Amino acid sequence: MSKPTLVDLIIAARWIIPVVPENTLLTDHAVIINQGEILAILPQSEVDQHYTLSEQGQQFQLDQHAVIPGLINSHSHTPMSLLKGYADDTALQTWLEDHIWPAEGRHVSAEFVRDGSRLAIAEMIKTGTTCFADMYFFPEETAEVCHEAGMRAQVTIPVMDFPTAWGSGPDEYLEKGAGLLETYKNSELVTIGFGPHAPYTVSDDAFKATVALADQWQAPIQTHLHETAFEVDEGIKASGIRPSARLHKLGVLTPATQCVHMTQIDESDIELLLSTGAHVVHCPESNLKLASGFCPVDTLMKAGVNVALATDGSASNNDLDMFSEMRTAALLAKAVSKDAEALSAQQALTMATLNGAKALGISDRVGSLEVGKKADICAIGMSDLALQPIYNPVSQMVYCNNSQNVSHVWINGQTVMSDRALQTLNEAEIIANAQQWGDTIRAGSQEA
């Protein structure tokens, strides 16, 4: 008999839900990991025969737990975590123009972005997210915090027609973006993409320049699109065609493009999405809170469009909890399609994992627990009273889980949370720092 292979991480759990193959539930299995990569998934009784821990290796025996691929939050504005609860219960345009943009004008800086990203990333790890896509100013700060935290991310370079604290306009944003692409071209964790904000804040020329640079670097593009009926109506008034058609004309829609929101969809939009291979990122709680409209996810998915899931920024949600987002998505899909079979618990989990990885162009590396993929993994303690009895762990996880039950998180094979204790970030410091920012931002709005 051959000697057991040395490995550095073994995660043994009561249930493993790999997402691929679909609808698979493995009982009393273990995930074997070495140097950040999944080597095998096998019954616990067979582990010792084939594998043994290296000297520095760690084994987790999680007998009351379910293990799933780490969740992927496909759209956020992480630094806006510092503005959560700052201006609630107002419509999108008022919210942006009267509250959020003025506050950002007063406070956004490299420091604001660094601290806000740290707060957001800590919250995401604590709620089982192992990868997120971001769109905000000073993206170099967010990217750096990802490395510090061991977090995977697609960080996009914001592009819009007007000046901000980060730059004077599209030319400068894109120039800075090219620098970031160069810095992170070999990063294991951070992918740099482009984030032209929305059709109503980005001119044709700026979109074209973004597409040219994205092509050159093979970089993904993420943009807000068809968030509200107002946006579509105004877009048609300004250019004579739907914003989706305008973006297509400008070459924006490709298999590397993520269209965020898409609450206004007609037949022509579905055709465009299918023919270009562009992805949809669904943000149900943000759409509900801003009364933006409803993305018809059931229709899109049945048509064959890839739909990923996201929280959007904390200021319009107000959290970054992908468990609550899965539940909202599953419930809302049933209401919108008037079909209780729409978006099952398993489909909601796939939307929050594999579909996210596909949208971000990283499904060869993450999004499911499969041999050869990176070990981005989340464990959930299932012994909580509210979860009993358990007939179907995926159903419990989507419909009645509290994300406080997330116990362990690994990213790229690194333990970033163990028994709810963050391993790479200082939670107490992050809380104190967020409270300080709260005081500063409150004082700023009183002076204004």
Query: Where do contacts with Zn ion occur on this chain (CB under 5 A)?
Result: 312
| Residue 83 C-beta: closest distance to Zn ion, Å | 13
Report the residue number, 74 or 405, with the smaller CB distance to Zn ion: 74
Token pair of 321 as six digits: 């909890």
Are 68 and 377 in contact by the 8 Å Cβ rule? The answer is yes
Is there a contact between 166 and 141 (Cβ–Cβ < 8 Å)? no
Q: Is 275 exposed, middle or buried (0-12, 13-18, 19+ CB in 10 A)?
A: exposed
Question: To the nearest whole angstrom, how small is the minimum distance from the Cβ of residue 112 to Zn ion?
Answer: 17
Question: Which H helix or E strand runs over 272?
Answer: helix 267-276
State which residue, 269 or 312, has the beta carbon closest to Zn ion.
312
Could you tell me the smallest distance in angstroms from the CB atom of residue 281 to Zn ion? 9
Q: How many CA atoms lie within 13 A of 264 on its CB side?
A: 19
> Smaller CB distance to Zn ion: residue 298 or 312?
312
Q: Residue 74: what residue type?
A: S
**Smallest distance from the beta carbon of 286 to Zn ion, in angstroms?**
7
Cis peptide before 243 (omega within 30 of 0): no
Q: What is the DSSP string of 353-411?
A: THHHHHHTT-TTTSSS--TTSB--EEEEE---GGG-S-S-HHHHHHHT--GGGEEEEEE
Q: Nearest residue to Zn ion, using CB?
A: 312
Residue 73 or 130: which CB sits closer to Zn ion?
73
Kindly tell me which of 143 and 260 has the beta carbon lying closer to Zn ion: 260
The least distance separating Zn ion from the CB of residue 228, rounded to whole angstroms, comes to 12
Residue 128 Cα distances to 143, 152, 355, angstroms: 19, 12, 16
Question: In 3-state terms, what secondary structure has residue 312?
Answer: coil
Q: Could you identify the residue written with the tokens 């750096």?
A: 144
Kindly state the smallest distance separating residue 212's Cβ from Zn ion, in Å. 24
Nearer to Zn ion, 317 or 415 (CB): 317
Say which residues have a Cβ less than 8 Å from residue 119's Cβ, sequence separation at least 6.
81, 82, 430, 433, 434
Residue closer to Zn ion by CB (options 252, 398) is: 252
Cβ at position 86, least distance to Zn ion in Å: 16
